[in-house]
Amino acid sequence: MERVNSITKKIGEIYFTLLSPNEIRKMSATKVITADTYDEDGFPIAMGLMDPRMGVIEPGLRCKTCGQRVGKDKCPGHFGHIDLAMPVIHVGHVKTIRDCLRSTCRDCGHLLLNDKQRDDFIDQIGQYAIEGRNINYLYKEIITTARKSDTCPHCGREVGKIELDKPTSFRENGKKLTPTEVREWLEKIRDEDLPLLEINRKSARPEWMVLTVLPVPPVTVRPSVTLQSGERSEDDLTHKLVDVIRINQRLQENRDAGAPQLIVEDLWELLQYHITTYLDNQTSGIPPARHRSGRPLKTLAQRLKGKEGRFRSNLSGKRVNFSARTVISPDPNLSINEIGVPHRIAEELTVPVRVTVHNIEWCKELIIAKYAPSSLEKDYVAGVNYVIKNAEGVKRRIKITDKNAEMISESLEIGSIIERQLMEGDLALFNRQPSLHRMSMMAHRIKVVPGKTFKFNVCVCPPYNADFDGDEMNLHIIQGEEAKAEAEILMKVQENILSPRFGGAIIGGIHDIISGCFLLTNKERKVPVAIASYLLGAVGYKGDITVCDDERIGRYVMGRDIFSTLLPKDMNMRFKSKTYQSLDSEEAFVIIKNGRLLQGTIDENSVGAFKGNILDRIIRDHGMQAGREFIDNVTRLGIAVATMFGFTTSIDDEDIPEQARLKVAEGLDKAMEKIKNLVKAYEDKELESLPGRSLEETLEMEIMRVTGRARDMAGEIAGEHLGLENSAVIMAKSGARGSMLNLSQMSGCVGQQAVRGERIHRGYKYRTLPHFKKGDLGASAKGFVASCYKKGLNPTEYFFHSMGGREGLVDTAVRTSRSGYMQRRLINALEDVKVEYDGTVRQAGGQVIQFIYGEDGIDPTRSLNGKAVDVDRIIADIKEEA
């Protein structure tokens, strides 16, 4: 058996240093002198930019330095170097170079501080480090102090004024300093002074910030691509390096030939430009180097930086195998723990299984299962895609086809790994972006289903924030046993029913499930035995139930008795239902005694997410498993009820009687009158202004109040005529979908449209639209929509409504980006914070943030809406025992 190293190697620490010229030469595989890549025959030129000593990119070719190939042996590539004819300043370090020049003496290299100042600062640095204070200010102070002296306290040389001409040239007293001079100066700085300049002698010397040798990255870092036409296209870095070498060579030749100073300087500057853009092509002050096509080149800094850069795109987040993505659709017949995976995906994705003595037979069968004649009759048979054989330390991956299946199955050895296709019951992670919280990625049990979409229970929509208008989601198959165990215990949907945000359920019945429960339990619903047995079958109930007899409808079962079958036998509760929230009588309460629903209407307040009382209680008393079963059963029951009883909403649900319409119109007229009076009072200057407000503001606020009230009034009138026999009302009142506001806008009056919280006022001079008189301050001229959606809006109303609608759209667009960035910052600031075993909350470095988490050490997920202990519950229990 293969020896498994249970302890993997761990990186302990990473050091950062500057490369010294010597180091660059030492690690270099070759000097690069030719500004070209390949010769006419397509072979890389020796000492050119594609020299095979710097590694190779074609598979099969061997690297001339280490003799290994790219893919298999993993030759990582090797650095080369370019000897620069003249030194060049590194753009990234200019500010440090400037500070070094400003605070040291050009002649003796001493810091421009007298010994006492120097010692003081060294003490202070030590002190700051002990106190853990932000040391940056101190370094700034050192430089400002050093700059203050006019002469060097050590050799007496007069100190020149150093200026930095962005991006890379320096002037001393107005006279230009060449990089050679800068380098000579920096060389003089003593090692002892470096700590005061924020430079660590162990990792850097100031003169290394002026380049004399340029490292050339391995070929593997800048691979060239061969286009279909056979043309080679080089990487941006290679392009840039070609420029550098070319100019470097010309500079060398000119200088050696003793060309005029002016020409040499021009070339020097050009070399500086090319190296600057090679390092960072977005340096301010110089034009970015461009590709022939006019596209700016992506050079070193651009490769690392930003969202698409190496750090955020390739290191902090990576692409993965064993994943799938497709459209999602609902399936109420699945448990919340399950996910329906289409055949095509299930056949593509695999789970690795190691062949052992115990499962070898099963594995063998599995390999041929797909190709056995009996598999044709079944919908889906899991097979094996690959077998990974481990022969003498070399791994070989063999694809299973109908031709080789039999053979491979027979020759299967213990110790190989088979990659088998998905089977029912495998665990997978399911995710929807944006992944804003941990419930955006949960583990589901796989169920292979026909079709082409992922299917899951609608109750799981809220945590993913998913709907089915074309959303796509991702699936990741778990590959290791350890990961599987973690997913099972921590990530399964049932473990995430309670949200850590507020300590309540985030998964619960929604939409038709709530409507169904409402229909079943509202108003003493009697269910004929035939339908009742269908419903009980849907939830898989086995047991007794009370059947009553009635002369008119025959044998029936009480709806609430059917619902009671889902409740645990020891449940006792009493709470107000959502439907009758405003009602102040006993009917409004849901009463459960010993697991029997005695009275009340089941709705959002019982089974819904966020506020489902019954759901909450089941999870707390009986655990996640029971909670999951309850949600599954409520889903089945609710959907079954809606199916059997029928539940439809249509446009005539918004019909209100003629006299109600008149009443609404009358009310609106009154409101208009009021507004007219307000405007008149304002124009006559009789309006009394609110404290601290101008007259205009007061008028606006008053009118807004009147229009708001007018809409509410219309809603009330409409509501009076829309009773609980109306499906739309049932949905709104029971909390299944929509609100009474939606209904009143549809059948009463849409109400005041607002932009930026004010009545609409922009448009033409003194008026919003040419349909109104100039200076009209009335309701309809400022965006009041008196019509209802059902009746339809008149053109001006429609226009105002669109204005309000547009604001909403813009708002959403702006909000997502702003809140996304805020969350990224929050996560970055808090990601290392964890609870230690001693109960303290600490950052990665060990700094204490809290001595006890949240002042009481309670997990918000387990808390009762923030409360540490459910005192009422304890008291009630104790009382019962007594």
Partner 1 sequence: MPKKTPTKAAVSKKASSKTKPVKMQEAKDTKEKTMKDQATSKKQTVDTLPLEPAKKTKSSKSKKTLKKEPVETVIVAPVEKKSVPKKETPEDKSIFKINEYLTGRYLPFKIIEELSSKIIIEKLEKKTKDIVERALIDYEKNKIDPAEACGIVGAQSIGEPGTQMTMRTFHYAGVAEINVTLGLPRLIEIVDARSIPSTPMMNIFLNEEYRHDQNLAKKVANQIEITVLNEIAEIEADLTNLMITVRPDKEVIENKGISIDDLLEVLGKIRKTEAKANKDGSITVSLDDPSYKMLLDVNEKLKSLKVKGVDGINRIIVRKEQDEGYVIYSEGSNLDEVLLIDGVDQKRTSTNDIQAVARVLGIEAARNMIIHEAHNTLSEQGLNVDLRHIMLVADIMTSDGEVKAIGRHGISGEKSSVLSRAAFEITVNHLLQAARKGESDGLTGVAENIIVGQPVNLGTGAVELVMKRTKAKKE
Distance CA 595, CA 630 (A): 13
Task: Please report the beta strands in 521-619, taking only residues with DSSP state E, as ranges in sequence order.
Answer: 526-528, 548-550, 554-558, 573-576, 589-593, 596-599
Q: Which of these segments, 34-42, 500-508, 551-559, 561-569, binds partner 1 (CB under 8 A)? A: 500-508
Interface with partner 1 (CB under 8 A), residue from 27, 155, 548, 690: 690
Interface with partner 1 (CB under 8 A), residue from 137, 311, 362, 468: 311
- The minimum distance between CB 801 and partner 1, in angstroms, equals 18
User: Where in 93-132 is the site for partner 1 (CB under 8 A)?
Assistant: 93, 96, 130-132
- The minimum distance between CB 14 and partner 1, in angstroms, equals 4
Binding mask 316-355 toward partner 1 (x if CB under 8 A, else -) reads x---------------------------------------
User: How many degrees, rounded to 5, is the angle at CA 638 between CA 635 and CA 640?
Assistant: 105
Task: State how beta strands 384-391 and 417-421 pair.
Answer: antiparallel
Which of 219, 218, 279, 294 shows the shortest CA–CA distance to 244?
Answer: 279
Does the bond joining 434 to the residue before it have cis omega, within 30 degrees of 0? yes
Binding mask 192-211 toward partner 1 (x if CB under 8 A, else -) reads ------xxxxxxx----x--
Cβ proximity to partner 1: between 130 and 651 the closer is 130
User: Where in 432-471 is the site for partner 1 (CB under 8 A)?
Assistant: 434, 436-438
Residue 86: partners with Cβ closer than 8 Å, 6 or more residues away: 179, 180, 251, 255, 268, 271
Distance CA 29, CA 871 (A): 73
User: Where in 53-72 is the site for partner 1 (CB under 8 A)?
Assistant: none
Q: What is the CA radius of gyration of the chain?
A: 38
Distance CA 304, CA 560 (A): 63
Q: Which residue(s) pair with 199 in the sheet?
A: none
Interface with partner 1 (CB under 8 A), residue from 108, 626, 803, 868: 868
Q: Which of these segments, 542-550, 551-559, 677-685, 867-875, binds partner 1 (CB under 8 A)? A: 867-875
- The minimum distance between CB 725 and partner 1, in angstroms, equals 30
Which of 381, 413, 387 shows the shortest CA–CA distance to 400?
Answer: 387
Distance CA 538, CA 639 (A): 9
- The minimum distance between CB 850 and partner 1, in angstroms, equals 5
Cβ proximity to partner 1: between 317 and 543 the closer is 317
Distance CA 195, CA 182 (A): 20
Cβ proximity to partner 1: between 662 and 690 the closer is 690
Instruction: Encode 385-415: b = buried (16+ Cβ within 10 Å), e = exposed.
Output: bbbbbeeeeeeeeeebeeeebeebbeebeee
DSSP characters over 193-212: GGGGGT--TTT--GGGGEEE
User: Where in 6-45 is the site for partner 1 (CB under 8 A)?
Assistant: 6-7, 10-18
Classify residue 833 by its DSSP letter.
Answer: -
- The minimum distance between CB 275 and partner 1, in angstroms, equals 15
User: Where in 596-655 is the site for partner 1 (CB under 8 A)?
Assistant: none
Using DSSP's 3-state secondary structure scheme, residue 851 falls into coil
Cβ proximity to partner 1: between 437 and 576 the closer is 437
Distance CA 781, CA 758 (A): 13
- The minimum distance between CB 814 and partner 1, in angstroms, equals 6
Q: Which of these segments, 319-327, 357-365, 494-502, 540-548, binds partner 1 (CB under 8 A)? A: 494-502
- The minimum distance between CB 252 and partner 1, in angstroms, equals 28
Cβ proximity to partner 1: between 620 and 791 the closer is 620
Q: Hey, what's the torsion of the CAs at 107, 111, 117, 119, to 10 degrees?
A: -120
CB hemisphere CA count around 688 (13 angstroms): 1
Tally Cβ neighbours within 10 Å of residue 827: 9
Q: Which of these segments, 142-150, 243-251, 291-299, 872-880, binds partner 1 (CB under 8 A)? A: 872-880
Is residue 92 near partner 1 by the rule CB under 8 A? yes
Q: Which of these segments, 140-148, 306-314, 453-461, 579-587, binds partner 1 (CB under 8 A)? A: 306-314
Site size for partner 1 (CB under 8 A)? 117
- The minimum distance between CB 700 and partner 1, in angstroms, equals 12
Q: Which of these segments, 176-184, 309-317, 521-529, 647-655, binds partner 1 (CB under 8 A)? A: 309-317
Backbone angles phi, psi at 270, to 5 degrees: -65, -40
Cβ proximity to partner 1: between 195 and 223 the closer is 195
Cβ proximity to partner 1: between 362 and 821 the closer is 821
- The minimum distance between CB 400 and partner 1, in angstroms, equals 31
Residue 523: partners with Cβ closer than 8 Å, 6 or more residues away: 601, 724
User: Where in 397-436 is the site for partner 1 (CB under 8 A)?
Assistant: 434, 436
Binding mask 254-283 toward partner 1 (x if CB under 8 A, else -) reads --------------------------x---
Binding mask 286-305 toward partner 1 (x if CB under 8 A, else -) reads ---------------x--xx
User: Where in 513-542 is the site for partner 1 (CB under 8 A)?
Assistant: none
Interface with partner 1 (CB under 8 A), residue from 21, 342, 383, 503: 503
Cβ proximity to partner 1: between 594 and 823 the closer is 823
- The minimum distance between CB 224 and partner 1, in angstroms, equals 25
- The minimum distance between CB 77 and partner 1, in angstroms, equals 19
Backbone angles phi, psi at 494, to 5 degrees: -65, -25
Cβ proximity to partner 1: between 93 and 733 the closer is 93
User: Where in 732-761 is the site for partner 1 (CB under 8 A)?
Assistant: 756-757
Q: 119: which 2 tokens?
A: 């010692």
Is residue 709 near partner 1 by the rule CB under 8 A? no
Q: Which of these segments, 231-239, 266-274, 543-551, 854-862, binds partner 1 (CB under 8 A)? A: 854-862
Interface with partner 1 (CB under 8 A), residue from 164, 388, 701, 803: 701
Cβ proximity to partner 1: between 391 and 485 the closer is 485
Burial class for 814, CB neighbours closer than 10 Å (0-12, 13-18, 19+): exposed
The identity of residue 308, as a single letter, is: E
Q: 10: which 2 tokens?
A: 């761990």
Distance CA 29, CA 215 (A): 10
Binding mask 128-167 toward partner 1 (x if CB under 8 A, else -) reads --xxxxx---------------------------------
Check: CB of residue 427 under 8 Å from CB of residue 443.
Answer: yes
- The minimum distance between CB 19 and partner 1, in angstroms, equals 8
Distance CA 547, CA 534 (A): 14
Using DSSP's 3-state secondary structure scheme, residue 339 falls into strand
Using DSSP's 3-state secondary structure scheme, residue 422 falls into coil
Distance CA 719, CA 747 (A): 9
Q: 468: which 2 tokens?
A: 């089915």
User: Where in 811-850 is the site for partner 1 (CB under 8 A)?
Assistant: 811, 814-816, 818-820, 822-823, 825-850
Distance CA 393, CA 142 (A): 60
Which of 553, 734, 778, 738 shows the shortest CA–CA distance to 654?
Answer: 738
Cβ proximity to partner 1: between 273 and 853 the closer is 853
Is residue 187 near partner 1 by the rule CB under 8 A? no
Cβ proximity to partner 1: between 226 and 314 the closer is 314
Classify residue 158 by its DSSP letter.
Answer: B
Q: Hey, what's the torsion of the CAs at 25, 26, 28, 29, to 10 degrees?
A: 130
Cβ proximity to partner 1: between 59 and 845 the closer is 845
Cβ proximity to partner 1: between 802 and 823 the closer is 823
